[in-house]
Chain A
Amino acid sequence: MTVIAQRGGRPPTRPFAASLLAAGALALQLVLVPAFAPAAFATDATPPAELAKFCEVPDDLISDGFLKYARSAYRTGQPLRIVVFGTSSSAGAGASTRTDAYAARLQQDLQARFTIPVEVINKSIGGQTARQMTARLEDDVVSLSPTLVIWQTGTVDSVGNVQVEDFGRALSQGVEILEKEGIDVIFMNMQYSRRIELLVNYGPYTEMMNAVVAQSDAVLFDRLEMMRHWATEGRLDFDDMPRAQRASRAAKLHECIALQLGDMIEKAVRR
C-alpha cells in the first residue's frame, strides 16, 4: 500500500524540485484517490472533533518523545516515509478490511496534518516474535529507507514465553540497526483485554520494552494503557461485546490508534 499525498500550505523550506514533485503528487491525489480508493476511505464520516473527544487519553500516556529524523525531513520538506512493522493487530486482524487498520488510517491522518508527502507502508506479518522481526529488519524495513518505523511487538513473545532477556536483546539490536541507518523508532506494545490478564503476564515484556525505550532514542506508543483507558471508560470494551459489533468497533479502535499516533508524530516533528 503506497499512496503519496499532498495538501496546501507551505513548510519552512522547500526546494523547487520538491515543489514540482508535490504539485505532481497533488494532481495524482486529486485524480487517482477519489477514483480508486475503497469506499471506506471516502465514507468515514465521524467529524474530527468528535473523534478526538472519543479517542482522548490521559496526558501521562502521551509520550513527549522526539523524532529527530522525521523532524529534519519535515524541516527540509523531504517526504515522510513510515513503515508499520508489526504482527496481526497491525496487519488488521479483527477489522473488516485491511484499509480499516490503523496503518491505512494513519496515512490519511498524517497527510491531513502535513504539507510534505507522507507515505505509510505496512510490513506487518502475524505471529512473529521480536527476534524473527529483527531478522527481517534489513530486508523489509531498511531497504525501503524510511524516516520512521512504527514497531509493534511483544504479544507473540509474551504468549510464547520467550525469554524476556532475549526479547530485550532483539529490540536493542533492532534499534541499533535502525539508529545507524538514520531511522526513527516508535515502539508499540500489546493490545489490552481484561481477560488476557488471566492468561498472559505482559509485565516483564512491557517493562523490558520501556527499558529499551529509556535507553535509546526510541519513543513508546503505549497502546496497552490507551486501550485499557478506552475500555475502562466504556468506550471500547471488547471483552463483553456482541459479535455483530466487533468489526465496526475494531475499526473504531484503529481510528483512535491512528489519531493518537498522528498526534504523537505531529508533536514530535513540530517541536
Chain B
Amino acid sequence: MTMPDSSARLPDETPPAAAPPVGLRPAEAPEASAQASAAAAAPPGVLSAIAAAIVMPPGRDLRLDFFRGLALLCIFIDHIPGNRIADYTIRNVGFSDASELFIFISGYAAGLVYMAASRREGLMFSSLRVWRRVWQLYVAHLVLFVIFTAEVAWTSMRFDNPMYVEEMNIASFLNEPHIAILQALLLKFKPVYMDILPLYIVLLAFFPLALWLIRQSRLFTLALSAALYLAARTFHLNLPAYPEDAVWFFNPLTWQLLFVIGAILGASTQDRIFPIPRNRWLLGIAVAYALFSFVVCFLWEHDMIDWLFSHGAEAFIFPTDKTNLSGWRFTHLLALAYITVYFLRADSPMLRWRGLRPLIICGQHSLHIFCLGVFLSFAGLIVLVEIGDSLPYQLLVNGVGLAVMIGVASLLAWYRAKERMPRRPAAAPPMGGASGDIVPKALEGGSVE
C-alpha cells in the first residue's frame, strides 16, 4: 500500500549522490559507503543498489524517525518475555518506556503532517486520509490476530495438563470462535502483547476531531484533553474489553493526552503559535526529574528502594500505572523529549551518522516494522520456548529479529524510492508553494503517521 499522493511532488527527494546512502546494518555500512558514488552511475550489487536508493531527505526531521525506530526495536525486544536483552532497552532509563515514546512521536508526526495537509487540502480531505490510514492499521491488527489465534490453537493442543486448568482458560475463546472473532473485529479482544496497535487505531480514528479542535484553539484542545485524562483517572473510566469485565490494557481515554500533546507540538512546529521555550530552568527541572526517575527505577529493579524511601513511601510511585498512564510516566517522557529537543537539533549532523541509519529507516516505515516486530517477537518466543532459552539462543533470537526488521525496512525504503522514480518530474514545484511545506511533505516520503 503506498501513501496517497505523496509520490509526485517531493521537493526534497534529491538524487542519491547528494545525500549519503544508508547501510543495511552498521557492519555493512562501510561497503555501502565505498560504493556510494558508483551507485548513482553504474548498477553494482544488489545490496549497494538498495543502499544507494535510500536517501536521507535533507528537510526531514530525522529525530522523529530515529526515536520512533528506537521505540519499535525496543518494543520488539521488550515483548519477548524473559528476554535478558530487555534489561538494556529504554524502559530501564526511567518511568516511561517505548510505548510512551511511540505514542508521543506518532502524535507529533500526525500533528505535523496532517496540520499542513489540512491547510493545503482542507480538513475533509485530510480526515479521509487519516481514516484511510486507520483502515490500514485495522487490517494489520486483524492479520496479527489471525496469526496469534493459530499460535494459541497450536500451543494449547500440546498443553493439556490438568495441573494448568486455569491457565488453559486462555484458549477458551477457541470454544466460541464466532464470539471471539466478533470481539476481535470490535477491537475488544486483544491477545497478549497486541494492545498498542488498537490504542493507536482508536487515537488516530478520533484524530480528525482533534485536528479540527487544534485548528480552532490549541490551548482549548489541550485543556479538553487534560480534562478527559483527569476524569478517566478520577472516575476509573476505560473502554470495555473481552472477556467480560476486562478493560483495555492501554486506556485510550488517558493515553490520548500524550498523543494530543504530541499533535499540538507537531502542529506548532511551522507556525510557531505554540513554540517550545528554550529555557535553562526548564531544562534543569527536566534533567533533575529524569535523573530522579532513573535512580528510583534502578533501585526498585535491584530491590534497594529502601535506601531512598522509608518503608511504604514508594507506594506513591510504584508500580507506575501504565494502563491509565500515570503522571510519573508521561511527565518523564516529556522531560526526556525536552532534553532531547534542547540538545539535538533537527539538522544536527549527528543524525546523519551512518550508525543511526538502521533505526532511522525503521522509524520511516513504522506500520510495517511495528507489525513485523509483533510477529517476530511471537516467533522469537516460540524459538525460546520450544528450542531453548539459554543466552546464545537469546542473542540469536534478538539478533535475527533486529536484522530482519532493519533488512525489511531497507527493502521497503528501496522499493518506495524505486517505485517513485519514473513518476518524478524533473523539477516539479511543490503545489503548496510555501517553503514551510517542505518538512511535512518530506515526512510523507516515509510512512510517518
A-side interface residues toward B, CB under 8 Å?
Answer: 87-89, 93-95, 126-127, 155-156, 159-165, 168, 190-191, 193-204, 207-208, 211, 214-216, 238-239, 241, 246, 250, 253
B contact residues around A200 at 8 Å (CB)? 167, 170, 192
A contact residues around B33 at 8 Å (CB)? none
Say whether A215 contacts B165, CB under 8 Å: no
A211 to B318, CA, bound (A): 7
Number of residues in B with C-beta < 8 Å to the partner?
Answer: 43
Say whether B166 contacts A207, CB under 8 Å: no
A contact residues around B171 at 8 Å (CB)? 199
Q: Assuming A94-B164, A159-B170, is B155 touching A195 (CB within 8 A)? A: yes
A208 to B321, CA, bound (A): 10
Could you show 25 A-B contacts with beta carbons less than 8 Å apart? A89-B166, A93-B163, A94-B161, A126-B165, A156-B166, A160-B243, A161-B243, A161-B247, A161-B249, A162-B245, A163-B246, A165-B324, A191-B163, A194-B385, A194-B389, A195-B158, A198-B385, A199-B156, A203-B81, A207-B319, A214-B318, A215-B311, A238-B161, A238-B164, A241-B161
CB distance from A247 to the nearest CB of B (A): 9
Say whether B166 contacts A87, CB under 8 Å: yes
Say whether B241 contacts A94, CB under 8 Å: no
CB distance from B44 to the nearest CB of A (A): 43
Say whether B164 contacts A162, CB under 8 Å: no
CB distance from A196 to the nearest CB of B (A): 5
8 A Cβ contacts from B290-326 to A: 305, 311-312, 314-315, 318-319, 321-324
Other 19 A-B pairs with CB < 8 A, given A88-B166, A126-B166: A89-B163, A89-B166, A93-B163, A127-B169, A159-B170, A160-B169, A161-B247, A162-B246, A163-B246, A164-B323, A165-B323, A190-B167, A196-B167, A197-B81, A198-B152, A198-B385, A200-B167, A211-B318, A238-B161
Say whether B166 contacts A155, CB under 8 Å: yes
Say whether A201 contacts B165, CB under 8 Å: no
- Assess whether B82 is interfacial by the CB under 8 Å rule: yes
CB distance from A167 to the nearest CB of B (A): 11
Cβ-defined partner of B164 (8 Å) among A95, A165, A191, A215: A191
Say whether A163 contacts B323, CB under 8 Å: yes
B contact residues around A89 at 8 Å (CB)? 163, 166
Interface SS of chain B:
loop
CB distance from B89 to the nearest CB of A (A): 14
Nearest A-chain residue to B159, judged by Cβ: A195
B-side interface residues toward A, CB under 8 Å?
Answer: 81-82, 151-152, 155-156, 158-159, 161-167, 169-171, 192-193, 238, 241, 243, 245-247, 249, 305, 311-312, 314-315, 318-319, 321-324, 378, 381-382, 385, 389
Say whether A93 contacts B162, CB under 8 Å: yes
CB distance from A43 to the nearest CB of B (A): 22
Say whether A191 contacts B167, CB under 8 Å: yes
Say whether B155 contacts A199, CB under 8 Å: yes
A contact residues around B324 at 8 Å (CB)? 165
Say whether B164 contacts A163, CB under 8 Å: no
CB distance from A166 to the nearest CB of B (A): 8
The 9 closest A-B pairs by CB, nearest first: A94-B163, A161-B246, A215-B315, A199-B170, A201-B192, A194-B385, A211-B319, A94-B162, A197-B81
A162, A198, A239 — which one has the most chain B CB atoms within 10 A of its CB? A198
A89, A196, A199 — which one has the most chain B CB atoms within 10 A of its CB? A199
